[in-house]
Amino acid sequence: MKKQSFWLIALVIALGTGLIIGLTLINSEPAQTRPGDFDKQRAYQDIVYQIELGPRTPGSQAHEDVVQYFIGELSEAGWDVEVQETSWGGHPIRNVIAKRGEGPWIILGAHYDSRMAADHDAEVGKQSMAVPGANDAASGTAILLELARCLPADLNQEVWLVFFDAEDQGGLPGWDWILGSSAMAADLDIRSGKPEAVVVVDMVADADLNIYMERNSDLELTQQIWASAAELGYEEFFIPKYKHSILDDHTPFLNREIRAVDIIDFDYPYYHTTQDTLDKVSADSLEVVGRTLQRWVMVRAETIK
């Protein structure tokens, strides 16, 4: 009896110790973000990485490096990635395209090039310098990268995430605006047909975020996205009023009678200046826009039979 009692006690102690150790290991693990969550800090780090590369001006090493970064991150997230290499307006174009899913087709897009000249800078001596592009370029691409990580694969629709080249050089000698999106929209006419919707995000991480409805954008799409923002409690950021008419990467698609919308905070005071730097953007703003787009995509998918 004493021997049986000894082994019984030993077994209880061992099991108890194992349980304590197991609980300790479980509780010591860091909190993990669920796959479906839009992680604002992860998106913010995408901006940090792009800024550390330097201005992603066409033809620069940073421009090439950021293309490789996009390809790596998108592939790791499980998307099929291709690079559309073409030319438009006399300049080489490299649009990065990530594809996934089957069904009705939508495109979410953002430009990744930084402007070569900070011609809105108050200091004349800085107007020939490149724009760092923390908000005007890196914010939209950060949204797309994080959506690539958190959108489910089985959305019952085909989604393209498109990183447009050469949007932001208009008005400079030998350049025009929206070259990458123009090249892609023209190519769709030849190869792929028309998507049901195109949504462009541009300058969406301003720490003082105010996104007004853009006058040229498709009304129904605009209303859907602003409704998604309202459902999430973001009415103060997605303001249901018209303010600006903007030439942006949605324009070439509208010109081809494709429904498109531009999500942009065009009241950003550091637009096309050397002050478009990391300290002017906010992870909270990324979350507002990212979660709104994620909700819009998910709601749209739920309506597809």
Burial 33-44 (b: 16+ CB within 10 A, else e): eeeebbbbebbb
* Cα distance between residue 144 and residue 163, in whole Å: 8
Cα-based angle 85, 86, 91 (whole degrees, multiple of 5): 115
Residues 7 and 121 reside in one and the same domain: no
Amino acid at 132: P
CATH (domain of 44): 3.40.630.10
Q: Does the pTM of the predicted model rise above 0.85?
A: yes
* pLDDT of 4: 39
Look at the chain and count its residues. 305
Amino acid at 33: T
Residues 15 and 65 reside in one and the same domain: no
* Cα distance between residue 96 and residue 73, in whole Å: 12
Residues 138 and 249 reside in one and the same domain: yes
Burial 232-251 (b: 16+ CB within 10 A, else e): bebeebbbeeeeeebebbbb
* pLDDT of 184: 96
Residues 70 and 208 reside in one and the same domain: yes
How many domains are there within the chain? 2
* pLDDT of 109: 98
Residues 67 and 12 reside in one and the same domain: no
Amino acid at 182: S
* pLDDT of 304: 76
Domain range holding 9? 1-30
Residues 147 and 26 reside in one and the same domain: no
Residues 116 and 200 reside in one and the same domain: yes
* pLDDT of 17: 40
* pLDDT of 191: 67
Going by C-alpha positions, the residue among 109, 11, 38, 1 that lies closest to residue 295 is 38
* Cα distance between residue 143 and residue 158, in whole Å: 18
* pLDDT of 33: 36
* pLDDT of 8: 37
Dihedrals phi, psi of 273, to nearest 5 degrees:
-130, 170
Residues 9 and 48 reside in one and the same domain: no
Reading the chain (305 residues) residue by residue, the pLDDT tens digits are 333 333 333 433 343 444 333 322 223 233 333 447 899 999 999 999 999 999 999 999 999 999 999 999 999 999 999 999 999 999 999 999 999 999 999 999 999 999 999 999 999 999 999 999 999 999 999 999 999 999 998 888 999 999 999 999 999 999 999 999 999 999 987 666 899 999 999 999 999 999 999 999 999 999 999 999 999 999 999 999 999 999 999 999 999 999 999 999 999 999 999 999 999 999 999 999 999 999 999 999 888 75
* Cα distance between residue 159 and residue 152, in whole Å: 11
Residues 249 and 159 reside in one and the same domain: yes
Residues 7 and 90 reside in one and the same domain: no
Dihedrals phi, psi of 200, to nearest 5 degrees:
-110, 135
Residues 115 and 8 reside in one and the same domain: no
Residues 148 and 109 reside in one and the same domain: yes
* pLDDT of 156: 87
Q: Is 84 exposed, middle or buried (0-12, 13-18, 19+ CB in 10 A)?
A: middle
